[in-house]
């Protein structure tokens, strides 16, 4: 049943996206080129509306299955929160809302799902036992939802980038949900994945339509929620697994924050130094840049799956190697600043000392 529902969502997105494209042009929800944008012509956005409508249709069809699953969280707060996010995204794609107004919409959506029971209530410790978060459960969940929602939005800078990375993340989460027997997350994850892949047919380079903030915020919000639902009961490194799966958008966001602090710029200031911008400056084509980032996201997903089955010390080794690799790549491509290379400088000094 869930497979047929996912196929239906995929086909529905294929049908809806051209209709949404016409709507975007008609109401003026278009993206105009500027010095910060990569595209050179006016493009319709609002494409995320097709993903949302397809996902909602799939979830309504799957409602009997979701209700039958033994789960402490109702689907309705998630649907209401997602709808608030969509309204926020549509208004932004039409009128370019201020960051404060967009954040207000995200806060409202996060509060609704938290009140609906979506919370990181405890962290399983690697040496056994668990750490009950108590009063910290709500703020930790809140900042996770807001952070991931915006992280997906920040990587939406090239044709097919946010949709492709989100698809890889959703495939990883769904795979791990299958391994863990979490039917609730499997259903939502596969429906969302099918809807997003359907949109990729129109969004991969050269794109015919952008997902806009409508899609990026919606995917970020939904991924943040199901990642909490999917990994709250895992036995080892429970808090790190969703962070590793989302390694590409999270690391890009963290380096953007560091970059703006180092350069003494406001955290909300836009720039052209994100991961995809750096790869383009190195000479990679638009398509190759997107595929490279897809590959990075897939590696993070594989690492998360391996980590979920790892022992304590092998898990520590995997995490250490990931952190070193992230720092090495960030310095190599100039993600913070072309002259900011502490790891490379350390390796050079070490090599010179041995000589």
How far is 251 from 244, CA to CA, in rounded Å?
10
Nearest to 280 by CA among 220, 225, 335, 354: 335
Task: Determine the angle formed by the axes of helices 99-115 and 75-95, rounding to 10 degrees.
Answer: 170
Q: Which residues contact 55 (CB under 8 A, 6 or more apart)?
A: 9, 82, 191, 192, 195, 222
Tokens of 277: 């911008």
DSSP-based three-state secondary structure for 45: coil
> Is 34 one of the annotated binding-site residues?
no
With vertex at residue 73, the alpha carbon angle to CA 67 and CA 79, rounded to the nearest 5 degrees, is 80
DSSP-based three-state secondary structure for 31: strand
How far is 105 from 124, CA to CA, in rounded Å?
32
> Is 182 one of the annotated binding-site residues?
no
How far is 343 from 331, CA to CA, in rounded Å?
8
Give, as one character, the DSSP assignment of residue 341. -
Q: Which residues contact 200 (CB under 8 A, 6 or more apart)?
A: 160, 163, 164, 167
Are the CB atoms for 119 and 141 separated by under 8 Å? yes
Q: Detail the residues annotated as belonging to a binding site for Mg(2+).
A: 153, 213
Q: Detail the residues annotated as belonging to a binding site.
A: 153, 213
């Amino acid at each position: 049943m869930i497979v047929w529902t996912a196929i239906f969502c995929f086909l529905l997105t294929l049908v809806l996206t051209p209709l949404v494209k016409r709507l975007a042009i008609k109401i003026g929800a278009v993206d105009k080129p500027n010095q910060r944008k990569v595209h050179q012509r006016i493009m319709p956005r609002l494409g995320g509306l097709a993903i949302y409508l397809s996902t909602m249709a799939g979830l309504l069809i799957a409602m009997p299955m979701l209700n039958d699953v033994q789960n402490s969280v109702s689907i309705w707060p998630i649907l209401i929160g997602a709808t608030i996010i969509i309204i926020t995204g549509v208004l932004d794609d039409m009128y370019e809302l201020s960051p404060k107004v967009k954040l207000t919409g995200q806060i409202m959506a996060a509060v609704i799902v938290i009140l609906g029971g979506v919370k990181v209530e405890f962290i399983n410790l690697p040496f056994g036992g668990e750490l009950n978060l108590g009063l910290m459960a709500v703020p930790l969940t809140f900042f996770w939802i807001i952070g991931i929602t915006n992280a997906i939005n920040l990587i939406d800078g090239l044709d097919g980038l946010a949709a492709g990375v989100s698809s890889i993340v959703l495939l990883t989460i769904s795979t791990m949900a299958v391994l863990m027997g979490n039917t609730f997350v499997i259903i939502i994850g596969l429906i969302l994945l099918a809807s997003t892949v359907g949109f990729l047919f129109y969004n991969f380079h050269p794109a015919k339509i952008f997902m806009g903030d409508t899609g990026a915020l919606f995917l970020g919000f939904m991924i943040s929620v199901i990642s909490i639902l999917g990994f709250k009961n895992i036995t080892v490194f429970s808090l790190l697994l969703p962070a590793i799966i989302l390694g590409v958008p999270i690391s890009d966001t963290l380096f953007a924050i560091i970059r703006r602090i180092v350069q003494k710029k406001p955290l909300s200031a836009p720039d052209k130094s994100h991961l995809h911008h750096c790869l383009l400056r190195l000479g990679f084509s638009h398509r190759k840049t997107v595929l490279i980032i897809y590959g990075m996201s897939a590696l993070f997903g594989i690492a998360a799956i391996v980590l979920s089955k790892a022992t304590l010390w092998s898990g520590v080794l995997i995490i250490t190697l990931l952190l070193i690799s992230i720092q090495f790549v960030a310095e190599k491509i100039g993600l913070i600043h072309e002259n900011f290379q502490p790891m490379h400088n350390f390796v050079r000094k070490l090599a010179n000392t041995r000589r």
